[in-house]
Amino acid sequence: MIPELGTFSTILALCLALILSVVPMVGAYTGNKLWVDYARPLSKGVFFFLSIAMVCLGYAFLTNDFSVVYVANGSNTALPWFFKISAIWGGHEGSLLLWVWIQAVWTLAVAVKSRNLPLDIIGRVLSVMGMITAAFLLFILFTSSPFDRFLPGYPMEGADLNPLLQDFGLIVHPPTLYMGYVGLSVAFSFAIAALLSGRLDAAWARWSRPWTNVAWAFLTLGIGLGSWWAYYELGWGGWWFWDPVENASLMPWLVATALIHSLAVTEKRGVFKSWTVLLAISAFCLSLLGTFLVRSGVLTSVHAFATDPERGLFILGMLIFVIGGSLLLYAIRAGSVKSESTFSLSSRESLLLVNNILLTVSCAMVLIGTLYPLVMDALNLGKISVGPPYFNALFVPIMSLMIVFMGIAAVSRWKHTEPSYLVKQLWLPAVIAILAGVITSYAYSGVLEFWVTLGLTLAYWIVFSWIRDYFNRARNRDSLWGAVTKQSRSYYGMLLAHLGVAVLVVGVAMVSIFVEHRDARMQAGDQLEFRDYTFIFDGVRKVQGPNYTSDMGRIRVLYKGEPYRIMYPEKRMYTARGMSMTEVALDPGLFRDLYIAMGEELDGGAWAIRLQYKPFVRWLWLGALLMTAGGILSASDKRYRRQNNRAAAAA
C-alpha cells in the first residue's frame, strides 16, 4: 500500500511539474499575472508530493518491505537503521528520486526566497526548473521507478546494500554532491529566463550570484566528501583517481568556478554577459552529462548502477534536448547583448577573463580525457583507457599558472591598472613567497623537491598577495581593526575560498611527493620501521559484526621507540553477498596520517599488510571545507538582501 502511495505522489508531482513548466511561462509572455502567480504554489506542491514519495521509500526500507524490488536489491534485515535510510540513494532508482527531490528543494527555495524579484522573471525561472523536474520524473516513472514490486512471489531476505556503501560517507556524500549538481540548475534557469525575457543585465547577475555561490559550495563539499570517502573506504589510500566518475563531478565544478568569477564581473562591471550565460548553461549541461555518464552504464565503477540501455537513451535524449535547446536559444538571443562598459588589457576584468579561460581549458582537457575512450570504443577503434599521467601532466601546469594570476588579480583594480603599479605592489610578496617556499620546503625534507617547492611557493603567493591587498584597504582606514570590520562578507568569503585553494595546493604537493608506503608480509610478532614509527603486528582475531564477520588485526605503533597507540585494521566478510571488504585503521593528524590496511591472509597465518605515511593529507579536505565556507559566506552578504529590499520598495 505504502509503495503505491509513493508511486501515486510521484505521478501527482509530475502533473504539477508539467503545469508549472507551462502555465507561468505562458503567463509571463501574455502578461497574465494570475497565471504567473501559480508558479509559487505549484513549486510548493511539487516539493510536498516528492517529499511524500521520499518518505514512502524510506518507510519501505525501514520496514524491510522486500516485495519492493529496489528494497530487496539494496537492503537486508540485518542492516543497521541508518544505512537503511541511506540505502534510499544506494542504487540507481532511489538516487534519481533523491536527485529530483533535491531539485524540488531548490525550486522551493527559489520560490520562497525571491519574494522581491520581478514577477515575470520568477515565473520563467520556476517554469524552467519545473521542466527539468518534469523530465526527470518522466525518466523515473517510465524507466526506473523505485516502487516497482516483485509480484506475486517475493524474497524473504534482501540482497543487502553493497558493503562499500555501508559507511558514513554514503550517508552524506550523495546528498551534498546532488545539492551542488542540481543547484546549478538554478543558475541555468536564471540564465534561460534572462535570455527569454531579453533582460540580461547586472541585476540578473546579482540575483543569480548567491544561488550559484551556494550551489558551488555544495558541489565543492560533495567532491571533497567523495575524495575523503574513497581515501578511507577503498583501502588504497588514494584521494583522487581521475576516474571518469570523479571527472564527471570535476567538470561542472571547474565551469561553475569560472561562472562564479564571471558573474562577479557581470554584476560589478556589466561586461562578459553572454559569456556568463554560456557558462551557466554549460555548467548545468555538464552536470547532466555527468549524470548520463554515471547512470547510463557507459562507465563502470562503484557509482554505475544501471546498465539498461533504455535508461541511457532516455538521458542521452534529454541531454541533447537541453544542450541543443539552450544553445539554440543562446545563439538567437546572445547577439543582441551589449556590454555596459569597457576595460583595458591590464585590468581586473582581463585577469578574471584569464581565470575563466584557464578553467574552461582545463575542463575541456578533462572532458577529452574522459570521453576519448568512450568515443574510440563506440567507433570500434579498440578499447583504451587514459591514465592519470595524462591528467596530471595537463592539470598541474594549468592550475599553477592560474594561481600565479590569482595573486596578481588580488591587488588589481577594475577598468584599468597600470602594469607598473602591479609590479610595485607585488615584487615584495613575490620575493617573500619564493624565499618562504624554498625555506619551508628545505626545512621539511632536507632536499629541494621541485613540485613541493613550487606548491609551497604558490600557496605563500596566494597568502602574501592578499596580505598586500589587505594593507592597501587598511591604509584608508583609521585603524587596522576598523578595516577588519568594514570589509564586506563577500570579500571575506572570497578570502576564505582562496585561502582554501592555498591549503589544498599544500596538501596536494606534500602528499603526492612525500607519501611513503610499504606493502609487507607480516606474521604475528613481525615489525616494520619507517619515518620514526615502528609497527608491530600482534596477530588477528575474529570479530562478529551486525551483518558481517571480521578478521581484526592488532598493530602496536611505537613513535621513536615509545608506545604511541594501537591500531585495528579489519578485513570484513559481508555474509549476505559473500563480499569481503577492507576496513582501514587510521591515525589522523593535521600534519600526517598513519594508514593501515589489511590485504588477504597468506600461508602460515601471515597477512599482507599495507602501511602508509601520508603527510598533510588532511589539508586536501580542509581546503575544500574552507572553499565551501567561503562560498556560503559570500552568498550571505548583506548587499544581496539590500538589493532585494530596494527592488521591493521600487515596486
C-alpha cell at 624: 575544500
278 vs 456 by CB, closer to other proteins: 278
**Bridge partners for 608 per DSSP:** 521
Q: Which stretch binds other proteins (CB under 8 A): 23-31, 190-198, 340-348, 452-460?
A: 340-348
**Cβ count within 10 A of residue 390:** 16
Cα torsion angle, 77, 79, 83, 87, sign: negative
Which of 43, 95, 162, 453 is in the footprint of other proteins by CB under 8 A?
Answer: 162
525 lies in the site for other proteins, by CB under 8 A: no
Q: Find all residues with CB under 8 Å of 357, minimum gap 6, and list them.
A: none
Angle of CA points 278, 322, 30, to nearest 5°: 85
- End-to-end, the C-alpha distance of the chain in Å comes to 49
375 counts as binding other proteins under rule CB under 8 A: no
Binding mask 230-249 for other proteins (x = CB under 8 A): -----x--------------
* Sign of the torsion angle spanned by Cα atoms 240, 241, 245, 248: positive
Q: Of these, 30, 307, 488, 549, which contacts other proteins (CB under 8 A)?
A: 307
Largest CA distance in the chain: 82
Residue from 336, 344, 488, 645 touching other proteins (CB under 8 A): that is 344
Question: What is the spatial distance between Cα 288 and Cα 636, in angstroms, rounded to a whole number?
Answer: 27
Among 198, 317, 324, 387, binds other proteins (CB under 8 A): 387
Edge-first strand listing for the sheet containing 585-587: 516-522, 607-615, 592-601, 585-587
Segment lying near other proteins (by CB under 8 A), choices 2-10, 260-268, 363-371, 623-631:
363-371
Q: For residues 362 and 628, which CB has a smaller minimum distance to other proteins in the complex?
A: 362
Q: Does 385 bind other proteins (CB under 8 A)?
A: yes
Please say whether the beta carbons of 188 and 281 come within 8 A: yes
Shorter beta-carbon distance to other proteins: residue 168 or 390? 390
Mark the segment that binds other proteins (CB under 8 A) among 57-65, 319-327, 390-398, 495-503: 390-398
- Please tell me whether residue 378 binds other proteins under the rule CB under 8 A: no
Answer yes or no whether residue 112 interacts with other proteins by CB under 8 A: no
Per-position b or e across 94-106, b if 16+ CB within 10 A of its CB: bbbbbbbbbbbbb
Binding other proteins (rule: CB under 8 A), the pick from 31, 152, 389, 525 is: 389
Question: Judged by CB under 8 A, which of 26, 393, 423, 543 binds other proteins?
Answer: 393
If one asks whether residue 610 binds other proteins (CB under 8 A), the answer comes out as: yes
Residues 185 and 105: their CA atoms lie apart, in Å, by 12
User: Cell 578553467 maps to which residue?
Assistant: 359
In this structure, what are the phi and psi dihedrals at residue 482, rounded to the nearest 5 degrees?
Answer: -60, -40
Of 477 and 577, the one with the shorter C-beta distance to other proteins is 577
481, 550, 555, 546: which is closest to 522 by C-alpha?
555
One residue of 418, 519, 529, 532 binding other proteins per CB under 8 A: 519
- Quick one: 84 or 610, whose CB is closer to other proteins? 610
CB of 376 to other proteins, least distance (A): 9
Report, in Å, the least distance between residue 587 CB and other proteins: 19
Q: Which residues pair with 573 in a beta bridge?
A: 549, 580
Q: Is 403 in the site for other proteins (CB under 8 A)?
A: no
DSSP one-letter code for 454: H
For residue 456, how many C-alpha atoms fall within 13 Å in the half-sphere facing its CB?
22
Q: Does 599 bind other proteins (CB under 8 A)?
A: yes
CB of 224 to other proteins, least distance (A): 23
Residue closer to other proteins (CB basis): 278 or 288: 278
Q: How far is the CB of 328 from other proteins (least distance, A)?
A: 24
Rounded CA gap, 506 and 28, in Å?
50
Taking the least distance from each CB to other proteins, the nearer of 5 and 302 is 302
* The only residue of 486, 521, 642, 646 in contact with other proteins, by rule CB under 8 A: 521
Q: Which stretch binds other proteins (CB under 8 A): 197-205, 244-252, 353-361, 492-500?
A: 353-361
In eight-state DSSP terms, residue 473 is H
The contacts of residue 618 (CB under 8 Å, 6+ apart) are 507, 588, 589, 590, 593
Under the rule (CB under 8 A), what is the footprint of other proteins? 69, 73, 159, 162, 235, 300-302, 305, 307, 342, 344-345, 350, 353, 357, 361, 364-365, 368-369, 372, 382-387, 389-390, 393-394, 398, 519-521, 577-582, 597, 599-600, 602-604, 608, 610
